[in-house]
Amino acid sequence: MKKVLIIGGGFGGIRTALDLDKKLSTKEAEIVLVDKNNSHLFLPALYEVGSAVGKWADRYHVELRRTVNIPYADIFEGTKVNFVQAAITGIDLEKKEAASGGGRIFAYDYLVLGLGAETDTFGIPGVSEYAYKFKNLDEALFLNQKVNEAFQVAKEGRRSSPVGFIVAGGGFNGIELAAELASLAGNLQKTKTVGYNIKIVEAAPQILPMISEKERGIIRKRLTNLKIEILENSKITEVGSNFVQIDGGQKHEADFIIWAAGIRASSFLKNIFGLRLDEKGKMLVNNFLQAEGWADVFGLGDNTVFVDEATKKPIPGLAYVAVDEGKVVAENIERLIKNKQLKSYQPFYNVWIAPVGGKFAVAHLTKRLTISGFWGWVARELVDFRYFLSILPVSKAVSLLSEEISVFGKND
């Protein structure tokens, strides 16, 4: 019997585990998934947590956590996957062992690394100290608490100036967050209690450079309607407690500086002796998603770099891309165990959906089909529901989607 160890319960890790559960019998493999948390974080909805409206109390806190946290116990119920909550502190590729902080040793025949990513500050002074980060649930909840507190102060008449936001980064994450903040602020402004201003600061010549001009135009118009100012060609050189300094001398002030400017692979990878990384610290993998030089180690998701042969560029770190990688990793582990030829990974990443505040989204479904507005939002909800159905029983998937719409719909 072979031992398969999966480290990281993100989109790719979960898909690998569930597919292996279907492909291999208990006589063929023992499947262990290790994660430091007891639940799977549904990252696409994280921006909703940061901008959700509600009275900050224990009940509200629990509601927000529940909408984006899916217990591993629910995901792996009735499967052969053994979930272990532990923080991995070291991996020895030669010995084929991983150690946890509690002293437990996990031996493996095949290792899958899905450690995810962390915030990249690019070495800019002040980012670590002053900017709100937005990569995990605790960071999103902290931002949510502070935003709601700021509007509550204004509502009580203890503040007369507008609440200011600067979102650093004009990618999908930054735009989604800025738009939701505008929806929240707009709803509160209807009560004539407070004004607001929101700026998206992007270093590149334009926001979302990877999409078409037509689609970018739809998103720009929506952001303008939400009273969001877009600053392009604006490289941030310093962050303070209430300002960002732009290359060239311009300074912009705000109550909240939110960092959505980029991510990097988990720094833990640098501690794995013998693992080959690129200049950005990401795992180098071959066409079978095996780590270079290690046939028994696989990588997927944000901690790997895979160059698309068609474009000669690294593929993007999207959730459904990690899921597809997980399927290929599971199949190749099965093929190794059964002494079959490995399957090459053929990346597909031409679909994206960008929520832009409230029940409005832009959905690029095919090269010729893009829908926007309410039906774009419907498409996003259907995609979420499809994912929930792929990892949960129908009743729990329906319950989760219903709760997500109920809690986050308060902004719409």
Cα-to-chain-centroid distance, residue 251 = 30
Q: How far apart are CA 335 and CA 33, in angstroms?
A: 20
Q: How far apart are CA 12 and CA 91, in angstroms?
A: 20
Q: Among 81, 66, 65, 88, which residue's Cα sits nearest to residue 13? A: 81
Contact yes or no for 179/223 (Cβ under 8 A): yes
CATH of domain 2-36+86-119+264-337: 3.50.50.60
Common-topology check for domains 2-36+86-119+264-337 and 127-261+352-411: yes
Best CATH choice for the domain 127-261+352-411 from the list 3.40.220.10, 3.20.20.80, 3.40.710.10, 3.50.50.100: 3.50.50.100
Per-residue pLDDT tens listing for the chain (412 residues): 999 999 999 999 999 999 999 999 999 999 999 999 999 999 988 888 877 666 554 555 677 778 889 999 999 999 999 999 999 999 999 999 999 998 899 999 999 999 999 999 999 999 999 999 988 888 888 888 888 888 888 777 788 788 999 999 999 999 999 998 998 777 666 555 668 899 999 999 999 998 999 999 999 999 999 999 999 999 999 999 999 999 988 999 999 999 999 889 999 999 999 999 999 899 999 999 999 999 999 999 999 999 988 888 889 889 999 999 999 999 999 999 999 999 999 999 889 999 999 899 999 999 899 999 999 999 999 999 999 999 999 999 999 988 888 777 665 6
Q: What letters, b where the CB count within 10 A reaches 16 and e where it falls short, cover 312-324?
A: eeebebbbbbbbb
What residues have CB less than 8 Å from 155, skipping those under 6 apart?
188, 191, 193, 194
Per-domain boundaries in the chain: 2-36+86-119+264-337, 127-261+352-411
